[in-house]
Amino acid sequence: MQIASDGLTDVGRVRSNNEDSFRILESLHLFVISDGMGGEAHGEIASSMAVETIVDYCSEAKDDSGITLAGAPGDHWAEKTKRLQSAVYLANSKIYQSAQKNPEQRGMGATLTAAWFDNGRLSIAHVGDSRAYLLRGGTVQQLTNDHSLVAEQVRRGIITPQEAEASEMQSVLLRALGAHSQVEVDVDEVAIFSRDVLLLCSDGLTRMVTEPEIAGSLQAETDPASATRKLIELANERGGIDNVTVIVAHFQEEPRGWLSWLRRGSANKE
Amino acid sequence: MAKLSLMFESKLVKEVPIGNRPVSIGRSPDNDIPIDNLAISNYHARVYYEGSRLVVEDLDSLNGTFVNDLRVERATLHDGDSIWIGKHHIKVDATADAAIPWDTGRKAAAPKINETMVLDTKARRDMLSQAAAMGERSQFSPGRLKMPTLVVLSGKVNQKEYVLTNKLTVIGKSPMATVRLRGWFKPPMAAQINQRDDGYYLGTGDNVPTINGTPITGPTRLNDGDLIEVCGVRLNFIFRE
Residue B51 binned pLDDT confidence (cut-offs 50, 70, 90)? confident
Q: How far apart are alpha carbons A32 and A24 in whole angstroms?
A: 6
pLDDT per residue as tens digits for the range B189-227? 999 999 988 889 999 999 999 999 999 998 999 999 999
- The percent of residues in chain B predicted with pLDDT above 90, rounded, is 37
- Any B CB within 8 A of A156 CB: yes
Verify whether the Cβ–Cβ distance A149 to B111 is below 8 Å.
Answer: no
| ipTM reported for the complex surpasses 0.85 | no
Verify whether the Cβ–Cβ distance B115 to A171 is below 8 Å.
Answer: yes
The DSSP secondary structure of A89-148, one letter per residue, reads HHHHHHHHHHHHH-GGGTT-EE-EEEEEEETTEEEEEEESS-EEEEEETTEEEE-S---B
Residue A243's pLDDT is what? 95
**Which residues of A are less than 8 Å from B196 in CB distance?**
141-142
Verify whether the Cβ–Cβ distance B170 to A134 is below 8 Å.
Answer: no
Instruction: Tell me how far the alpha carbon of residue B3 is from its chain's centroid.
Output: 36
Interface test with A, best of B62, B87, B118, B194 (most A CBs within 10 A): B118
- Any B CB within 8 A of A141 CB: yes
- Any B CB within 8 A of A153 CB: yes
Residue B211's pLDDT is what? 96
| C-alpha distance from A173 to closest chain B C-alpha (Å) | 5
Residue B101's pLDDT is what? 52
User: Chain A to chain B, count of Cβ pairs less than 8 Å apart?
Assistant: 113
pLDDT per residue as tens digits for the range A211-255? 999 999 999 998 999 999 999 999 999 999 999 999 999 999 887
Residues 172-191 of chain B with CB under 8 A from chain A are 172, 174-178, 188-189
β-partners of residue B3 are B17, B93
Q: Is the pLDDT of residue B229 over 90?
A: yes
Name the stretches of chain A with pLDDT < 70. 65-74, 256-270
Verify whether the Cβ–Cβ distance A156 to B138 is below 8 Å.
Answer: yes
Reported residue count of chain B is 241
Residue B131's pLDDT is what? 55
Pairwise pLDDT comparison (B93 vs A124), residue with the higher score: A124
- Residue B173: what are its φ and ψ, rounded to 5°? -85, -20
Residues 81-120 of chain B with CB under 8 A from chain A are 110-111, 113-120
- Any A CB within 8 A of B205 CB: yes
**Which residues of B are less than 8 Å from A175 in CB distance?**
118
Residue A35's pLDDT is what? 97
Q: How far apart are alpha carbons A60 and B218 in whole angstroms?
A: 43
Residue B104's pLDDT is what? 40
Provide the CB-side half-sphere exposure for A211 (13 A, CA). Answer: 13
Q: Is the pLDDT of residue B110 over 60?
A: no
Q: Select from A34, A12, A135, A65 the least CA-distant residue to B205.
A: A135
- The percent of residues in chain B predicted with pLDDT above 70, rounded, is 81
Interface test with B, best of A135, A172, A181 (most B CBs within 10 A): A172
- Any B CB within 8 A of A24 CB: no
Residue B127's pLDDT is what? 61
β-partners of residue A172 are B117
- Any B CB within 8 A of A207 CB: no
Residue B100's pLDDT is what? 55
- Any A CB within 8 A of B136 CB: yes
pLDDT per residue as tens digits for the range B119-154? 766 666 666 566 555 544 443 444 446 789 999 999
Residue A157's pLDDT is what? 75
Q: What is the mean pLDDT of residues B154-178?
A: 93
**Which residues of B are less than 8 Å from A104 in CB distance?**
none
